[in-house]
Amino acid sequence: MAGRAGTRGLSTLRMGARRLLVVCVCCAILGGAALARAQASSNSKVVRVVIGEYVVALDPSTVHARRVTFVVTNTGLKVHEFVVLRSKVGAARLPVEGNEVREDSSATRNVGEIGKIKPGETKRLSLALKPGLYVAICNYPGHFHHGMHAILRIR
Ligand SMILES: [Cu+2]
């Protein structure tokens, strides 16, 4: 009697151990999937952008990622736009025509933009960006000159 009970106890223990093993394997698979997701998302970053009169503020302004999602909020009182330029020069030396920046030139290339962001509105823009220097601007007439520009570095 006591022996049988002992055997039953042992087999219950074995089953328990097997169940635990199955649970552990499942955990390892799920954990691996979560890790893969985390690695994928580490290559994609969110940059919060505040635009207004007359400012463009990026947080962060240096990004270690190949895909960037800009979440742009207009906290100003006027309508603005958000333009991302790949640039060979800094904001101070961007080519200008009249009161606007030349978005496509030997030194600049428009790589994406959101037009017409109304006061209080938030819009998103997701871009695949190569490492390098970028300038985010509002290119409504005169707005760049009033200070609507910010440097973005992709590392
Ligand atoms: Cu503007």
Residue in 152, 144, 107, 102 with CA at minimum distance from that of residue 127: 152
94 and 124: one domain? yes
50 and 37: one domain? no
Q: Are 124 and 72 in contact (CB under 8 A)?
A: yes
Residue numbers of the domain that contains 10: 1-42
Give the Å distance between the CA of 99 and the centre of ligand 1.
12
Close Cβ partners of 87 (under 8 Å, ≥ 6 residues apart): 94, 107, 108, 133, 134, 135
Give the Å distance between the CA of 106 and the centre of ligand 1.
24
54 and 124: one domain? yes
Task: State pLDDT tens for residues 23-50.
Answer: 545 445 445 555 445 444 568 899 999 9
Give the Å distance between the CA of 51 and the centre of ligand 1.
8
Tell me the C-alpha distance between 15 and 23, whole Å: 12
Both tokens of 5, joined, read 């009970």
Task: State pLDDT tens for residues 69-99.
Answer: 999 999 999 999 999 999 999 888 999 999 9
Give the Å distance between the CA of 13 and the centre of ligand 1.
70
58 and 127: one domain? yes
**Percent of the chain's residues with pLDDT above 70:** 73
Specify the pTM. 0.74
Q: How many domains does the chain have?
A: 2
